[in-house]
Amino acid sequence: MDKAAWRKVFGIAKEYGINHYRFHTCCPPEAAFAAADEMGIYLAPELPFWGTVAGEEETKRDREGRAWLFKEGFRILREFGNHPSFVIFSLGNELWGDQEVLNDILGQYKEADRRHLYVQGSNNFQFSPVILENDDLFNGVRFARERLFRGSYAMCDAPQGHIQTKMPDNCYSYDEAIRPRQKFKETEPELRQSAAQTTEEKTIGETAVEQPVAPETGEVEIQFGTGTKKVKAAKSTELIPQVPVISHEIGQYEFYPDYDEIERYTGVLQPENLRIFRERLADKGMLHMAKHFFRAAGRFAVECYKRELETAFRSRELAGFQLLDLQDFTGQGTALVGILNAFMENKGLISAEEWREFCNDRVVMLSFPTYVYETGGIFNYEVLVCNMRPMAEDGENNIRITVELSERDSGRVIAQTVHEGTLELTRLVRLGGGSLSIPAGDDPVLLRAAVTVSSCGSEQILMKNHYDLYAYPAAKKRTQAGQTPVTVTDDAKRMMECLRAGERVLFFGSSIGEIYSMEGTYCTDFWCYPMFASISESMGKPLPIGTMGLYMDREHPVFAQFPTEGFTTPQWWRIVTGARVAVLDDQPVEPLIWMIDHFSRNHKLGLVYEAKVGEGSLLVCQADLLSQDCPEVNRFYDSLLAYAESEHFTPQARIEEAWLEKVYQ
């Protein structure tokens, strides 16, 4: 309740490029407004309401509650309205109900105090959103079931976002979802498009509306808090926004717990949840993996956040975003979604300086179609700049943009281009593009594409950013050439015959039974697996997968011909997607490539594992590499085969034939 505490919170937020706080169903105290005034933080208080605003069918209790909320809004405006940090006022979180009532409440608040921006709520009407006449902006996640402008969603709110479902790229934007081009005249070149209403459309308030599409009436079941509720859905219309659009609660990529934090809780709040999760991991015999899982899942979650945030910055039609949080949330089943821990301390996964490369009021980005290339190929890019930092009137605006391609591990520069331009105050502008040649060769290489913007006069670095890329030779899967023969098969019967003969086998386990495996997925878990699994189950919808990316020892000889990080990176997308990951809970093996399971469940999941079976030696890959033909898949296949042929392939743990015969059909 004191200003010093809020200055600390907002100071940390600014260190990570954040300039705005929305208060979920609450209004902060005077101290927060006072601190935000001094520090330049935009605040968005909200009425303390998460529910349905009844209309004609309201009960006496509804009327009394609405009357109290209505008066509370005026009290908030009267008490805190003079603070310049009070920028947005919202009627609540994820509301449903009577649109006319909501619009009338907004109108009365605006008439009483026009200094602020007003919005009907945060993510109201979810699958059937509306824009009201008195809305000054729209805060949500979609304009129709498929018109998404957030990168991740819970399974119960499917379809899911592009971070969860699409192969990683760095050119995707939400512009088409927010303002479909076919409905508007293109008045400016690409990246400078603005929308003019077509003559076929009619305008209601600030909203252009067409004839209803896929009308939905009656009750729908929605996710509400940690459960579900049934609400009446309005008829669906095709919304084209004429007010600024802000994305709601973006991110929500879950991190694995850092059990060292347990000792940090010295007050009245005790981390019983973390203790329980640690005990469960120990009971499964995997406590020694905790730090590996924390770092690998965390590094991957950071990469998901970077893609999410850069998509927002690349989307000209998006006026802003509200990250769900910078720090972990210890409730709702434990939602560890922060790059900072619950104490707002850095987890050691990314520095504040590197985070600001892609989350700030001034960001430079490279736009490109894929992270995975062929050696000898071409890296095509565009330079995009988002500069919302006020410019000095007499400042030096001439800039030099340097784009550099280098070997990531050695730092050796391979190619470089330089562009010149002028830095202006702009939501988004293209400042050049080009192509850089990737060296030819028979070996894969990890690359880094870096972009730096500096002042031509002072040489001061104004912005910088970087991206890791992966290049592989365009070769087919090799045939065996080693002295030690290896049988390669995806036939379980053939596998067993060879193992009984004492042979080495590279087995692709796509025939694994469903109850002995889990679906392979690239993206990490959304918010919190137990909470959303129970919601999906109650709604009769598919359960979330709940895994949290890959972990592997990058120095293991199985990766001798397939350089990798120790966590999920884009060259794994085709390998992991569609795989069936083996559940190895009752087996003594430890995977060579782990799929990290959610910390509430703790399955031992193997994408690749090895074992001794009788006198034979077995290397199992649960990804279907045989039916795919692309450089990274072929090279991973070659690396597995080379390992199986090598002297390093000496599995120690044993698996019984009976288990293999039961699991693989």
pLDDT for position 395: 62
Contact assessment for residue 275 and residue 262, using Cβ atoms and an 8 Å cutoff: yes
Residue whose tokens read 């945060």: 122
User: pLDDT for 504-546, tens place per residue?
Assistant: 999 999 999 999 999 999 999 999 999 999 999 999 999 999 9
pLDDT for position 29: 98
Contact assessment for residue 256 and residue 292, using Cβ atoms and an 8 Å cutoff: no
pLDDT band at 628 (very low <50, low <70, confident <90, very high): very high
Contact assessment for residue 328 and residue 340, using Cβ atoms and an 8 Å cutoff: yes
pLDDT for position 656: 97
The amino acid that residue 398 corresponds to is N
pLDDT for position 188: 40
Q: Is 164 helix (H, G, I), strand (E, B) or coil?
A: helix
Domains and CATH numbers, the chain: 356-472 (2.60.40.2550), 486-663 (no CATH)
Across 200-209, 258-267, 471-480, which has the greatest mean pLDDT? 258-267
The amino acid that residue 344 corresponds to is M
Query: How far, in Å, CA of 568 to CA of 547, rounded?
Result: 12
pLDDT for position 225: 67
The pair of structure tokens assigned to 263 is 């000792």
User: pLDDT for 594-627, tens place per residue?
Assistant: 999 999 999 999 999 999 999 999 999 999 999 9
Decide if pLDDT at 551 tops 60.
yes
Decide if pLDDT at 201 tops 60.
no
pLDDT for position 117: 98
What would the mean pLDDT of 180-202 be, rounded to a whole number? Answer: 42
Query: How far, in Å, CA of 252 to CA of 448, rounded?
Result: 27
The pair of structure tokens assigned to 185 is 């005249």
Decide if pLDDT at 189 tops 50.
no
Query: Residue 32's closest CA among 5, 11, 50, 12?
Result: 5
Q: Is 140 helix (H, G, I), strand (E, B) or coil?
A: strand
Decide if pLDDT at 497 tops 90.
yes
Decide if pLDDT at 379 tops 70.
yes
pLDDT band at 156 (very low <50, low <70, confident <90, very high): very high
pLDDT for position 198: 28
> Judging by beta carbons within 10 Å of its beta carbon (0-12, 13-18, 19+), is residue 189 exposed, middle or buried?
exposed
Query: How far, in Å, CA of 297 to CA of 427, rounded?
Result: 33
Inter-CA distances, 4 with 1, 10, 19, 36, Å? 9, 10, 18, 11
The pair of structure tokens assigned to 371 is 């992270």
Chain CA centroid to CA 255, Å = 11
What would the mean pLDDT of 545-571 be, rounded to a whole number? Answer: 97
Q: Which helix (H) or strand (E) holds 593?
A: strand 593-595
Decide if pLDDT at 40 tops 70.
yes
Decide if pLDDT at 420 tops 80.
yes
pTM of the model: 0.92
Burial 305-331 (b: 16+ CB within 10 A, else e): bbbbbbbbbbbbbbbbbbbbbbbbbbe
Q: Which helix (H) or strand (E) holds 641?
A: helix 631-645
Chain CA centroid to CA 199, Å = 38
Decide if pLDDT at 190 tops 70.
no
The pair of structure tokens assigned to 470 is 């992966």
pLDDT for position 199: 25
Per cent of the chain over pLDDT 70 is 91
pLDDT for position 482: 66
Phi/psi-derived region of residue 314, left when phi > 0, alpha when psi is between -120 and 50, beta in every other case: alpha
Inter-CA distances, 395 with 386, 398, 602, Å? 18, 9, 56
pLDDT for position 483: 72
pLDDT band at 210 (very low <50, low <70, confident <90, very high): very low
User: pLDDT for 293-332, tens place per residue?
Assistant: 999 999 999 999 999 999 999 999 999 999 999 999 988 8
Decide if pLDDT at 282 tops 60.
yes
Mean pLDDT across the chain: 91
What would the mean pLDDT of 52-81 be, rounded to a whole number? Answer: 91
pLDDT for position 332: 85
pLDDT band at 202 (very low <50, low <70, confident <90, very high): very low
pLDDT for position 458: 81
Do the strands 138-140 and 245-250 form a parallel or antiparallel pair, or are they unpaired? Answer: parallel
Q: How many CA atoms lie within 13 A of 216 on its CB side?
A: 18
pLDDT for position 70: 96
User: pLDDT for 224-264, tens place per residue?
Assistant: 666 766 676 665 567 999 999 999 999 999 999 999 999 99
pLDDT band at 391 (very low <50, low <70, confident <90, very high): confident
Q: Which helix (H) or strand (E) holds 413?
A: strand 413-422
The pair of structure tokens assigned to 628 is 């795919």
Query: How far, in Å, CA of 67 to CA of 90, rounded?
Result: 16
Decide if pLDDT at 348 tops 90.
yes
Query: How far, in Å, CA of 594 to CA of 589, rounded?
Result: 11
